[in-house]
């Protein structure tokens, strides 16, 4: 195996060590992505639940941006339900 210079530290690193470091970083990033995905799904579920609980009168007092977000989340809910039904 060849030996390379590490850019940040200037020390010599063989290709195996560099591949191990890259694999480790990829694993860390995949774990972080999975965590963020779960957090986004939880927030989405909470937003859907809150949107369903709002009365028509309360919806009138929301900002236009919030109303738009609630309107955009509904079709995606149908897609999720259709996907879940197709899987079962």
State pLDDT tens for residues 3-61. Answer: 555 555 667 777 888 888 889 999 999 999 999 999 998 988 888 888 888 887 787 88
In this prediction, residue 1 has a pLDDT band, given cuts at 50, 70 and 90, of very low
Tokens of 11: 């020390």
How much is the CA Rg of the chain, to the nearest whole Å?
23
What pLDDT was estimated at residue 78? 65
Q: What is the pLDDT of residues 18-28, one digit of tens each?
A: 888 889 999 99
Answer yes or no: is pLDDT of 73 > 80.
no
Q: What is the 3-state secondary structure (H, E, C) of 3-23?
A: EEECCCCCCEEEHHHHHHHHH
What pLDDT was estimated at residue 87? 75
Cα-to-chain-centroid distance, residue 80: 16
The domain ranges of the chain are 1-43, 54-88
């Amino acid at each position: 195996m060849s030996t390379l210079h590490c850019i940040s530290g200037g020390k010599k690193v063989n290709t195996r060590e560099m591949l191990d470091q890259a694999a480790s970083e990829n694993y860390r990033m995949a774990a972080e992505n999975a965590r963020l995905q779960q957090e986004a799904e939880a927030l989405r579920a909470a937003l859907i639940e809150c949107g369903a609980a709002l009365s028509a009168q309360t919806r009138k007092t929301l900002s236009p941006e919030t109303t738009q977000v609630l309107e955009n989340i509904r079709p995606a809910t149908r897609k999720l339900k259709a996907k879940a039904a197709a899987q079962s």
